[in-house]
Amino acid sequence: MPGLATRLLIAQRALDSLKASGAPEVDVIEANLKWYRLGALGPALGDFVPFEKTPGQNGGRSPYYSVWVEVLRLAVGDPTDSTPGVVQTLRAFKQFQEQVSKLVKDHDFDGLKELKDSGGLDKVQLASADLGRIMKRFSDKEKLAEVGRKMGRNSKPPLLNPSNLIPPKQWNGRDWLHWKQPGHFASTLRARALASGDGRFIAYALGWTVAYAALVCGTGLMNSLVGSSYRNHWWRTRFIGNFVDAWVWGFYGAKASMGPTDVPTPAYAAWPGLCDARLHDLVDFTGGLDAEIVGRSIVAEEALPHVLPPAFTAFWVDAWTAAYPGQDAPLFTQDRLQVAYLLLWIQLWFQSSGDVIGCNPAPPADPPDACTDKTPPAWVDPTLIDPQTNAPFKAPTPKAKHDPDVGEIISGILLALAGVASFFLGGAGFGAAALAGGIGLIVDGVKTLNWDELECQLHWIAVYLFNGLDALHKLTVFAGLQPPAPAEFATATQKVQFADNLPLSYLSAGSVCKSRGMEGLHVPWSGALSTWNTYPDTTALETPLTDVWPFAGRWPSAIVDDVGANAATEDITRPPPAWPGGIHGSFGPAVQASVTLIRNPGRLPDWNLDNDRGRGWLTWELASPYADPVPAKPES
């Protein structure tokens, strides 16, 4: 399935096309742009429904909600046991490092003394202690395995149960909105929005129409990259979706072109990334809520604020009830919709705000002139292991004085920095000693210092921190939680390793986003940890075989607006004469299909939004517990 960033870009380009043609829908969209964009995220709201921990008739908490609780526990902290979060702790450390670096560059001894006297060192000492606690939790293999299980076996769609036939009333919101009469719901939403006369609802429904088109037109190519459908390879679908999001956002943002040898112009490194795109601002109805505070409330299982207008949630639930009458225990309620919106908003914040790991700009490639030795010391790469200790290399004690008998105010500050960085990257024992020693060495009265040596040492500490943050970024990419940086597309493989953990790797070349011709979906994933990064070509194909995606070698622009690569040969508005349907051609790119659907309202076909079991299939369910061949039947 196309990811959130891709859907937002498709929505914007569809709006641009509508404006160019003078379409009357433009006015209501532009007057309610955030509502249109929120609508364009479409069924993604269902990822977080239900949110309650206590199982009910609809089943228990959505697995994706559970995953994000754990992600936020690391990112913003856990109020239930006072564990701090990476975001605020790294922020304190970065601010301290930048402040010290400027003071050293300016040879401002008085400023350094003031930093010490004003309690600045106390802040970095606290940050170091906090990071030590975070890393202790982060390195707990059982806790990591628990998160992995939530991504893997615990997130397995209920359709794959081989023993019991799980009825749709026990599906979560994500599966329902993709598999239960999605065309009928989109049509009902739009009809009721028009009847309301409320511009917000109309713009939202038009955005949902774009989401419908994006999923119908784009998921076939996405499935070819994954090797199967979301049903069979759920976490790999999200992993690949992040890569395509990064490619699409960068390609269109840079106005790029792809050469015959798959080399882009401009180069990948010049493409804009999603690390600070602030997509959450595009759909922000929170009234200025602090994402970190909201995140901690989510982790603590506290009641979350309702930020969407009650009139909107009432409109949405009324449309859902009209589309799916007779539900004795409605899956979607106004309360669940409010919570789902906040989780979707905070997911976008985590992935694109720049407030979590951030874009992590590289330090200058060349050390300053102050460095007499330009060779990077081994300790600046925290992923390298010292063969003598079987642990990461340790930074040496900084030396920044002329007279060994005078106090070492600057050396102490550098030790504090090294201590925090070492805590962050797992060397907690060294970090604690370095920090304690550094703080203890800070005294007044030193005015004759080797500023050049200090500047050089600060440069290598900046390199150390950059490498550590880069490793953490790659870990979140590997986990399917964040998109890669466009520059990563220029390298075939990314590798990351922390301390004694096994090295992790994933294919990162731009060709990861280039489609394969594909007939048949690979059988369901086992859910084994850390295997979603691999294309499942060693596994069998699910039967009976179906047409997944016929075009090899197409870039994701083919599902956005490149008609030259993906001309429409089928009518997205016309249902097939009989179930299950299925097409051998294409509905064309999503932008053109969106414009067609917006300009020509009507009853939309119930295409399966996961393109499952193939492109142009109508929705279906199982006649008996899952097996191969798949016992599919028309949805009831």
Residues 161 and 238 occupy one common structural domain: yes
Instruction: Output the average pLDDT for the chain.
Output: 87
Residues 424 and 388 occupy one common structural domain: yes
Domain boundary among 480, 495, 527: 480
Q: Rounded to an integer, what distance in angstroms lies between the CA atom of residue 592 and that of residue 551?
A: 19
Q: Rounded to an integer, what distance in angstroms lies between the CA atom of residue 45 and that of residue 38?
A: 9
pLDDT value of position 629:
98
**Domain-embedded: residue 159:** yes
Residues 240 and 281 occupy one common structural domain: yes
pLDDT value of position 132:
65
Q: Which long-range contacts (CB under 8 A, 24 or more apart) does 382-391 make?
A: 382/421, 382/425, 382/426, 382/427, 382/464, 382/467, 382/468, 382/471, 382/498, 383/467, 383/471, 383/496, 383/497, 383/498, 385/497, 390/500, 391/427, 391/499, 391/500
Residues 254 and 299 occupy one common structural domain: yes
Q: Rounded to an integer, what distance in angstroms lies between the CA atom of residue 410 and that of residue 453?
A: 11
**Domain-embedded: residue 302:** yes
**Domain-embedded: residue 321:** yes
DSSP 273-318: -STT--HHHHT--SSS--HHHHHHHHHTTPPPP--S-HHHHHHHHH
| Residue 626 DSSP class | -
Cα 142 from chain centroid? Answer: 23
Residues 45 and 181 occupy one common structural domain: yes
pLDDT value of position 562:
98
Q: Which helix (H) or strand (E) holds 150?
A: helix 141-151
Q: Rounded to an integer, what distance in angstroms lies between the CA atom of residue 428 and that of residue 418?
A: 11
Q: Rounded to an integer, what distance in angstroms lies between the CA atom of residue 101 and that of residue 457?
A: 10
Residues 230 and 279 occupy one common structural domain: yes
Residues 437 and 523 occupy one common structural domain: no
AA letter at 72:
L
Q: Rounded to an integer, what distance in angstroms lies between the CA atom of residue 146 and that of residue 158?
A: 20
**Domain-embedded: residue 374:** yes
Residues 222 and 305 occupy one common structural domain: yes
Residues 468 and 560 occupy one common structural domain: no
E strands, 307-431, in order = 385-386, 391-392
- Cα–Cα nearest to 74, from 157, 131, 146, 141: 131
What φ, ψ does residue 541 adopt, rounded to 5°?
-95, 140
**Domain-embedded: residue 491:** no
Task: Quote the pTM value.
Answer: 0.91
**Domain-embedded: residue 110:** no
Specify the pairing of strand 385-386 against strand 391-392: antiparallel
Residues 90 and 42 occupy one common structural domain: no
Domain boundary among 426, 446, 480: 480
Residues 422 and 403 occupy one common structural domain: yes
Specify the pairing of strand 493-496 against strand 385-386: unpaired
Domain boundary among 480, 498, 527: 480
- The helix-helix angle for 63-76 and 334-352 (nearest 10°) equals 50
**Domain-embedded: residue 556:** yes
Q: Rounded to an integer, what distance in angstroms lies between the CA atom of residue 181 and that of residue 511?
A: 34
Quickly count: other Cβ atoms within 10 Å of residue 411's Cβ: 23
Q: Which long-range contacts (CB under 8 A, 24 or more apart) does 301-304 make?
A: 301/53, 304/338, 304/339, 304/342
Number of domains comprising the chain: 2
Tokens linked to 229? 């459908």
pLDDT value of position 435:
33
What is the residue range of 374's domain?
73-102+364-480
pLDDT value of position 386:
73
Residues 40 and 189 occupy one common structural domain: yes
**Domain-embedded: residue 450:** yes
Q: Rounded to an integer, what distance in angstroms lies between the CA atom of residue 348 and that of residue 427?
A: 31
Residues of the chain where predicted confidence (pLDDT) is lower than 70: 55-59, 121, 128, 131-132, 135-141, 382-385, 390-450, 497-503
pLDDT value of position 52:
92
Specify the pairing of strand 620-622 against strand 632-634: antiparallel
Tokens linked to 275? 């690390």
